[in-house]
Amino acid sequence: MATVTDPVCGMEVDTATAAGSSEYQGTTYYFCSMGCKRQFDKTPEQYAEAQEPQEPPQ
């Protein structure tokens, strides 16, 4: 189980129960709702730049 930050709204999202996910530049982002995913998909560069890239534990 892993918790990540929804880049759109800043909420903590469990990757197992996330409403949606998108891959952008090799990184997978998870979202609390489909609304956040749609928002991200519109302008991924805006949200992807807002946070440090997170490397999953090996």
- Closest CB 33 distance from Zn ion, rounded Å: 5
Cβ(45)–Cβ(30) below 8 Å: no
Spell out the residues 6+ positions from residue 25 whose beta carbon is closer than 8 angstroms to its own: 48
Residue type, 1: M
- Closest CB 52 distance from Zn ion, rounded Å: 18
Is residue 9 within the footprint of Zn ion (CB under 5 A)? yes
- Closest CB 57 distance from Zn ion, rounded Å: 23
Residue in 10, 8, 15, 5 with CA at minimum distance from that of residue 37: 8
Instruction: Give residues 39-58 in contact with Zn ion (rule: CB under 5 A).
Output: none
Binding site for Zn ion (CB under 5 A): 6, 8-9, 11, 32, 36
